[in-house]
Structure formats: C-alpha cells, structure tokens
Amino acid sequence: MKVIFLSALIPLTLASMLVADTCREVVRDASGRIVQTIERRKQSGGTVQAVSRDAAGRVIGTATTRPTSGGGSSTVCRDASGRMTGTAQTQTQPQSQTTTAAGSSRTTYRDASGRLAGSADTRTNAGTGSHTQYRDASGRFTGSTATNSKPAGGFTGTSWDAAGRVIGTSTVSGKCQGIAKVPIPVPPPKAKR
C-alpha cells in the first residue's frame, strides 16, 4: 500500500496525554507487513490532530482536521518538515436525509497548489462499518476500502485497487469514538495537470 500525504494525521504531544485519548491505526500491505501507523487525538472544540509514522517509527507526516458547519470537516496535511502537502474537505449527509439507514459523505482532496487531486465517497452503516470508493481528479475509479466496527471499539479495514485486488488492511484500536477519520485514498490520487 502506498503511503501518501492524506494518510498523515497530526503531531504527537506528550505521550502521557495521548494514552486515554488516542485512536491508533496500524496499516499493513497485502503481505501483512506493517507499513504505517497513524495516531489520532481529539482536542477541545472537536479538532483532531494526528501523526503518521513509517514502519521504522519515523514521522512521515502530520495533519489537522477541524469540524466545519453542517457536520463536515477540513483537513490540512503536512510532511515531516512541516511543509503543507495538501488539503481535504469532507461534506456529510446525515442518516435522516438518506434513503437508507446509512449516512454518507464526500471528501475532496487538493494538492498544495490547490489543484484537484481526487475524491472519496463514503457510506456509513450505523454501528457496523463503512464503504468508501476513491476516484482520481478525472473521476476514474481508483480503489475502495471497507471497514467493520469491533464490539470493543475501533474497527478493521480492507483496501482494494481498481481491479479488485487486496492491497492492504488496517486495524484501529483505542478511544476512537467521535474522532474524525478522513478517508485515505488508495492508491494515491494524482493532481490533474
């Protein structure tokens, strides 16, 4: 599974402060090898900060997700040096406004220059999980991810490429309720030139 700027989520503060409020995701490739970990922490006001590390534990990126009006969110992603690498805007549609018992959302990704880089459409089933489809800037389908909630909290996920081949899995544990999780494009979207 390729690691991209949109999978990076925000800086760690003190480890002792993160234990109770951290939602930790472990990302594996198709062979089961760990390729990335992401830790997310919810702050006052609903802002979610996260940090992404590679398999060796090195920080590879951070991101800050802030709530917006209407239940959506806005994410700014940065590389390990702090340079902005892209943004993501998520708009949600509550379950009460959909035709089924599922909520839905759309995330639009842009690169550091503001060019459209891709999108993700997510349908969430109450209490059971979600399914996300990814598209590049031209609208072409590039892959999908399905998640299943775990009774003890957190969830497991599987990602496929456009041909339906499994390209990775993820396991999320910790205090995840109410922590925004911006869909991570797989494979990464390319900015439209």
Q: pLDDT tens digit string along 121-134?
A: 999 887 688 999 99
Using CA atoms in the order 13, 188, 184, 38, what is the torsion angle rounded to 10 degrees? -30
Tokens of 114: 């503001």
Residues in the chain with pLDDT < 50? 1-20, 99, 187, 189-191, 193
The span from the CA of 75 to the CA of 110, in Å, is 10
Q: What predicted TM-score, i.e. pTM, was given to this entire model?
A: 0.80
Q: What pLDDT shows up at residue 51?
A: 93
Short-list 130, 129, 118, 94, CA closest to 187: 118
Residue 181 three-state SS: coil
> Is the separation of the CB atoms in 5 and 86 below 8 Å?
yes
Short-list 186, 141, 137, CA closest to 166: 186
Residue 45 three-state SS: helix
pLDDT tens digits, one per residue of 20-46: 468 899 999 999 999 999 999 988 888
Q: What pLDDT shows up at residue 96?
A: 57
Q: Which domains does the chain have, with CATH numbers?
A: 5-174 (2.40.360)
